Amino acid sequence: MGSNEGKELPVIVRVLDASASEAARTSAVCAKLSHACSDPILYTESTSCLQDLADKTTDILIIDLETIGGDDALEAYAVRCPKAVIIAVSARGSVSRAVSAMRAGAHDFLTKPFSLDALASKISFQLKQRRPAVAAPVAPEKPEPRQYAERPEPLVPASMNKVEPSGLNRLIGHSAPMRDIHDQIARMAPSQAPVFITGESGTGKELCANAVHDLSDRRSERFVTLNCAAIPRDLIESEIFGYVRGAFTGATDNRAGAAEQADGGTLFLDEIGEMDLLLQSKLLRFLQTGTFQRLGDTQSRKVDARIICATNRNPVAEISAGRFREDLYYRLHVLPIHLPPLRERRDDILPLAEAFLERYAREERRSFKGFDADAEARIVSYSWPGNVRQLENTIRQMVVMNEGAAVTYDMLPMVIRDQSARPTAVIDLSRERSRASAPSRPFGTIEPLWAQERRIIEDALDAFDGNIAMAAAALEISPSTIYRKRQSWSARCL
């Protein structure tokens, strides 16, 4: 079932342990958590626990592996509460057992007997990592524009609702860069000034333009989109300004262009950097006066349309190269928004992936509920050069081509799994040859590879307060690799 993410409600804790005394002792961890907790629910057998996980809200599940028959059985519990923090405990702790539990859906592992302080520390850390935070404030149903900047948007992915998303719900993300974008949109929306959106392909420029329109006073009027890169150069003028009958061969009737259709609303010119210079001058006149002529017509028409434009190019570089008019740039570049690439807002990758997974699992009638630890770590660490569009298409491909309760590492496309893949770089051989040779060093001063690996991994674990999943994502390896490495280091020390 769900969890209380995004709501100021007490945290719901469930404990499953065949020993009633152990379950009671474990539940005492609630007193050590900074979050308010409802009375913990204790189970000594699996059936009732599984039923409640499927039907009721769960925020924290502490589960004894011996009670459920081993770590292989854990997945059945994990898929029933994909948003909950799951802590696996066992009297037979080992590195391999911890790895298996993590693969099956646990967020952390403890060996019995454990201290309540240790358990509380692990739960608190996981709650802070949840996306969004369990204690995040409730977003008001009809907030004023300035309130948008204060909420981690969206707490529930828009794609999970049957209602068509609107406003900032179109833009999934609660990272610091996206909070800034939400704030900019909320401030710009009431204005009538042009908006200039820049960003790499696939970052969501059209969704951003839609959000501006949805929050503006023009939201009840039309939002008209014109992709300047998709229309042949000799047709784009007629697409923007329209034409009259007989204006050219095939013009058998009068037709209103995009500018006229957007009267009272918003005209979105996507990929404006692809527009021909001659048409740029006509667009400049339209922006200055609000008037235009249909192709082949002598009558001037006046419309009131707000202009939003977008480009994946560097407009300043385009001006320098003579491909974009400087005066048009300054006319359009009144309210700029830059959408960062996905690799610069990694906190948003998993919420986006989860939203796409739920949407397409529903559309394709699949039973996916989430990602296993290895798949999650790789999805977060991958660079996503195609940004949100690539992530969305990747999730859809995996849903269509696979079936299961959770997306596993092996279901990821090879291009995502290949951790050695890097953008190719041009090597200047003459420069390489001219470099001075490295001075020779005594054999004993060279650190063994395993020791270097250990130092790097331990540094990463220290940076993330011992969180293996986060350290693995930063190092672009799977969590199970860290467990195996630790096991090999222990063997060397014996």
Q: How far is CA 105 from the centre of its chain?
A: 21
Could you tell me which of 388, 395, 390 has the C-alpha nearest to residue 342?
Answer: 388
Instruction: Output the CA torsion sign for 279, 284, 287, 293.
Output: negative
- pLDDT at res. 493: 65
Assigned token pair, 85: 């923090």
Would the pLDDT of 230 be above 60?
yes
- pLDDT at res. 160: 40
Rg value, the chain, Cα: 28
Beta strands, E only, 434-494: none
Cα angle 377-378-383, degrees, rounded to a multiple of 5: 120
- pLDDT at res. 442: 56
Decide if 200 contacts 243 (C-beta within 8 A): no
Could you tell me which of 493, 455, 453 has the C-alpha nearest to residue 477?
Answer: 453
Could you tell me which of 213, 210, 208 has the C-alpha nearest to residue 264?
Answer: 213
**Residue 310 pLDDT grade (very low, low, confident, very high; cuts 50, 70, 90):** very high
Whole-Å CA distances, 394 to 109, 224, 397, 401, 416: 31, 29, 5, 11, 9
pLDDT tens digit sequence for 470-487:
777 778 787 778 877 887
- pLDDT at res. 430: 43
Assigned token pair, 54: 């499927």
Q: DSSP secondary-structure letter at 91?
A: S
Residue range 309-315: mean pLDDT, rounded: 94
Would the pLDDT of 204 be above 60?
yes
**Residue 137 pLDDT grade (very low, low, confident, very high; cuts 50, 70, 90):** very low
Which amino acid belongs to residue 311?
T
- pLDDT at res. 429: 40
- pLDDT at res. 169: 75
Decide if 395 contacts 357 (C-beta within 8 A): yes
Distance separating alpha carbons of residues 470 and 96, to the nearest angstrom: 19
Would the pLDDT of 369 be above 50?
yes
Distance separating alpha carbons of residues 146 and 140, to the nearest angstrom: 12
- pLDDT at res. 433: 41
Residue range 383-388: mean pLDDT, rounded: 93
Which amino acid belongs to residue 153?
E
For 270-314, the DSSP string reads ETGGGS-HHHHHHHHHHHHHSEEE-BT---EEE---EEEEEESS-
pLDDT tens digit sequence for 91-120:
887 777 777 787 778 888 888 888 888 888
pLDDT tens digit sequence for 264-290:
999 999 999 988 888 898 899 899 888
Residue range 44-67: mean pLDDT, rounded: 88
- The answer to whether the bond into 154 is cis (omega within 30° of 0) is yes
Average pLDDT, the chain: 81
Residue linked to tokens 């290949």: 418
Q: Which helix (H) or strand (E) holds 42?
A: strand 41-43
Would the pLDDT of 465 be above 60?
yes
Decide if 273 contacts 316 (C-beta within 8 A): no
**Higher confidence at residue 248 or residue 430?**
248
Q: In what order do the strands lie in the sheet with 60-64?
A: 41-43, 13-16, 60-64, 85-90, 108-111
Distance separating alpha carbons of residues 1 and 163, to the nearest angstrom: 21
- Coil, strand, or helix at residue 316? helix
Indicate the burial class of 432 (C-beta count within 10 angstroms; 0-12, 13-18, 19 or more): exposed
Q: Which of 69-78, 80-89, 160-169, 200-209 has the lowest mean pLDDT?
A: 160-169
- pLDDT at res. 478: 73
What pTM did the predictor assign?
A: 0.56
Q: Which of 139-143, 410-414, 481-485 has the lowest mean pLDDT?
A: 139-143
**Residue 494 pLDDT grade (very low, low, confident, very high; cuts 50, 70, 90):** low
- The answer to whether the bond into 132 is cis (omega within 30° of 0) is yes
Would the pLDDT of 146 be above 90?
no
Q: At what angle do helices 176-188 and 205-214 cross, to 10 degrees?
A: 40
**Residue 333 pLDDT grade (very low, low, confident, very high; cuts 50, 70, 90):** very high
